[in-house]
Amino acid sequence: MDANGNQQQKRKNPPLKPVDPQQYSFDVGLVKITTYRKKKRPEPLPATADIHPSVGKMEERLRAIVDLQAFECIFLDAMKPDIRDRTLLVPVRFRQRIAKLRQSMGAAMERVRGAHGRAAEEADMLLCDLEAHLAEDAGRSELLEQYRLMILLG
């Protein structure tokens, strides 16, 4: 024990030998090479005839890995629109539906403008924003249609 009451650990490693500076000078080459050999040989792998296949566990793991959805699949599934009426994919029907929506929004805006109060003002602002977005989208669609026709006509 030392003066503080702690037990001193015994040194297990012998002290290092002093290093000769001549040994590390640049004008001296290799002096000696020391090799160490393992005394124990590694155990060989078992013969393939002794290995028995696992029952069912690997099939379950493989099925879980194969069925695992990648992030891209999850993202694309989340972004894919839910279209109940497949006829909306026809451009003419889509434009008709947008025109009908804009007409119904115009009627709703007239009803909201007839009402008074804060809720009516918020609804009017929301409907005006929606109308502006629909008009902008309709303009883009018409421009795209014109470009497409110009390309087809050549």
How many domains, the chain? 1
Determine, yes or no, domain membership for 108. yes
Determine, yes or no, domain membership for 60. no
Letter for the amino acid at 76?
L
Distance CA 147, CA 150 (A): 5
Task: Give the mean pLDDT per block of 10 residues along the chain (154 residues).
Answer: 55 72 73 74 73 70 73 76 79 84 82 75 81 86 88 86
- How many other C-beta atoms can be found within 10 angstroms of the C-beta atom of residue 109? 17
Residue 127's closest CA among 95, 96, 103? 103
Determine, yes or no, domain membership for 103. yes
Determine, yes or no, domain membership for 95. yes
Domain hosting residue 139, numbered range: 85-153
Is the separation of the CB atoms in 2 and 8 below 8 Å?
A: yes
Is the separation of the CB atoms in 138 and 98 below 8 Å?
A: yes
Quote the pLDDT of residue 111: 80
Determine, yes or no, domain membership for 59. no
Determine, yes or no, domain membership for 64. no
Determine, yes or no, domain membership for 125. yes
Quote the pLDDT of residue 4: 54
3-state SS, residue 74: helix
Distance, CA of 22 to chain centre: 59
Quote the pLDDT of residue 99: 84
Place of tokens 């891209």: 72
Distance, CA of 4 to chain centre: 58
Place of tokens 């792998």: 45
Place of tokens 């078992």: 46
Distance CA 16, CA 19 (A): 9
- How many other C-beta atoms can be found within 10 angstroms of the C-beta atom of residue 94? 13
Determine, yes or no, domain membership for 128. yes
If residue 124 lies in a helix (H) or strand (E), which one and from where to where? helix 118-153
